[in-house]
Amino acid sequence: MQKGKGMPMRAREQVIPAYYRLADDIKQKIESGELKPGDGLPTEESLGEARGISRMTVRQGLSLLLEAGLIETIKGKGSFVSRPCLNRLVIDWEIGVQLNGQEYQYRLLEVKVVRSEGEIGQILGPAPEQKIIQIKRVLLQQDQPVAIEERYLPYIKGKPLLENHLEYADFPEMIAKHQECLPVRNDMDISVALLTAEQAQQLGELPQSPAMLVRSIIYSSTGKALGVSRLVGHQNHLHLRATSYPYR
Amino acid sequence: MQKGKGMPMRAREQVIPAYYRLADDIKQKIESGELKPGDGLPTEESLGEARGISRMTVRQGLSLLLEAGLIETIKGKGSFVSRPCLNRLVIDWEIGVQLNGQEYQYRLLEVKVVRSEGEIGQILGPAPEQKIIQIKRVLLQQDQPVAIEERYLPYIKGKPLLENHLEYADFPEMIAKHQECLPVRNDMDISVALLTAEQAQQLGELPQSPAMLVRSIIYSSTGKALGVSRLVGHQNHLHLRATSYPYR
DNA sequence: TAGTGGTCTAGACCACACT
DNA sequence: GTGTGGTCTAGACCACTAT
pLDDT over 90 at B14, yes or no: no
- Residue B1: predicted pLDDT: 33
- Residue B12: predicted pLDDT: 44
pLDDT over 80 at A80, yes or no: yes
* B167 conformational bin, left if phi > 0, alpha if psi -120 to 50, beta if neither: alpha
**Among residues of chain A, what percentage have pLDDT more than 70?**
85
Q: How confident is the model at residue A116 (pLDDT cuts 50, 70, 90)?
A: confident
Nucleotides of D under 7 A from a protein CB: 3-12, 14-18
Cβ-count burial of B123 within 10 angstroms (0-12 exposed, 13-18 middle, 19+ buried)? middle
pLDDT tens digits, one per residue of B79-101: 999 988 899 999 988 765 555 66
Winning range, highest mean pLDDT, from A1-5, A238-242, B142-146, B171-175: A238-242
- Residue A248: predicted pLDDT: 52
**CA of B47, closest CA in chain A: separation in Å?**
21
Distance A126 CA to C12 C1' (A): 57
Determine, for residues A83 and B193 on separate chains, whether the beta-carbon distance falls below 8 Å: no
Nearest one of B214, B218, B204 to B174, comparing CA atoms: B218
pLDDT over 70 at B229, yes or no: yes
**CA of A222, closest CA in chain B: separation in Å?**
8
3-state SS, residue B10: helix
Nearest one of A219, A92, A95 to A153, comparing CA atoms: A219
- Residue A63: predicted pLDDT: 97
Nucleotide nearest to A20 (CA to C1'): C7
Q: Which residue has the higher pLDDT, B216 or A104?
A: B216
* CB of B77 nearer than 7 A to strand C: yes
Q: How confident is the model at residue A172 (pLDDT cuts 50, 70, 90)?
A: confident
**CA of A63, closest CA in chain B: separation in Å?**
10
The pTM of this model reads: 0.86
- Residue A5: predicted pLDDT: 33
Distance A185 CA to D9 C1' (A): 38
Nucleotides of C under 7 A from a protein CB: 3-12, 14-18
Nearest one of B211, B197, B157 to B180, comparing CA atoms: B157
- Residue B4: predicted pLDDT: 33
pLDDT tens digits, one per residue of B151-202: 999 988 776 766 666 777 788 888 887 888 888 899 999 999 999 999 999 9
Find all residues with CB under 8 Å of A173, minimum gap 6, and list them: A165
pLDDT over 80 at A231, yes or no: yes
